[in-house]
Amino acid sequence: MKTSDARKQRTLAAETWRRFRKNKLALAGMIVLITLVLIALSTIVIDLVTDNAIYNNYVIKQNLRLRLQGPSKAHLFGLDEFGRDVLMRMLWAVRYSLFMGTIAIALSTVVGVVLGSIAGYYGKVTDNIIMRFMDVLLAIPSMLLATAIVAALGTSLTNVLIAIAISYVPTFARTVRASVLTIKDQEFIEAARAMGASDFRIIFKYILPNSMAPLIVQSTLGVAGAILSIAGLSFLGLGIQPPTPEWGSMLSSARSYIREGWHITVIPGLGIMITILALNVMGDGLRDALDPRLKN
């Protein structure tokens, strides 16, 4: 009886965390992600404290006499084709890839939640108009859509964020719409309507909070896809421009020197792979932890 009472007293967050931490792979992914966030924040603080001195002297400063030097004690990840320290550029690149991916997915989540909620709650003509437009966007591969948008708007950080956000809106809109369709006819929603609650209040106070589980999982997986898209755009020359360090642009500029310096392509590639893998396994762990069918 005591065990049963203790389980009932657990909050949803505590129960989710208890289930999540049992998945060692997902927990490892979360640790990697937290480490990357701390690195990104640290580089921002260092730039503020040193007035970009570290960035100017160790991240973008060139030394052509030492170009393509392999990993050593002085430079653990070696030097790139312009004699810049690969380790320092990898560390400073974290904030662009991670934060830009997060911001892009946050924007697409907000727009997708609004459109999906309206489509699912009101249905009929409204649902058809919104979802058919989403279907048109879904028919275009997200990377191709983002490339077309950036090519049309021009290469800048803002345009890259807009392009990535637009390409992921349909995914979030469909996810939220499916949850709203499942929840909107339940008894507690009918009770809220009977008490005179407005549609806005019903959607944002009663329906959306009960739709957060799939949205959290989709957002985590979406960040991984957004980071890959940002790297892809930078690789094609449509994303973050040199000398600003970004994993995709580092790969793009290093591909011509892969025979002379293997490290300048392998190391940025590993950075992208490890980050996306960490986000994916953490997303899978969250999905399992939040799945109501596994609550027993």
Number of Cβ within a 10 Å radius of residue 20:
17
The neighbour count for residue 156, using CB atoms within 10 Å, is: 13
Q: Return phi, psi of residue 155, to 5°.
A: -85, 115
Domains and CATH numbers, the chain: 14-61+77-294 (1.10.3720.10)
Judged by phi (left if over 0) then psi (alpha if -120 to 50, else beta), residue 79 lies in beta
Q: Please, are residues 179 and 252 in contact by the beta-carbon 8 Å criterion?
A: no
pLDDT given at position 294:
53
Residue 255, C-beta contacts closer than 8 angstroms, at least 6 positions apart: 265
List of residues 6+ apart from 195 with CB closer than 8 A? none
Sign of CA dihedral 235, 238, 240, 244: positive
What is the DSSP secondary structure assignment for residue 69, as one 8-state letter?
A: -
Cα–Cα dist 167/112, whole Å: 11
Residues facing 85 on adjacent strands: 79
**CA end-to-end span of the chain, whole Å?**
16
- Asked if 96 contacts 240 with a C-beta cutoff of 8 angstroms, the reply is yes
Cα separation, 214 vs 20, in Å, equals 15
The token duo for 196 is: 């005179």
Give dist(CA 58, CA 89) in Å, integer.
Answer: 8
Count of CB atoms situated within 10 Å of the CB of 17: 13
Q: What is the pLDDT of residue 123?
A: 83
241 Cα distance to chain centroid: 20
Alpha carbon 89 to chain centroid, angstroms:
21
H or E element that contains 152: helix 142-153
> Contact 269/251 with Cβ under 8 angstroms?
yes
Cβ(255)–Cβ(246) below 8 Å: no
- Interior/surface letters 58-88, b for 16+ CB within 10 angstroms, e for the rest: ebbeeeeeebbbeeeeebebbbbbbbbbbbb
Full-model pTM: 0.85
Contacts of 50 (CB under 8 A, 6+ apart): none
pLDDT average per 10 residues of sequence, the chain (296 residues): 48 78 90 94 93 90 89 89 92 90 92 92 89 89 86 84 91 90 84 83 84 85 90 86 87 86 90 93 86 54
pLDDT at 4: 47
pLDDT of residue 9: 46
Please say whether the beta carbons of 10 and 18 come within 8 A.
yes
Q: From CA 251, how far away is CA 234, in angstroms rounded?
A: 9
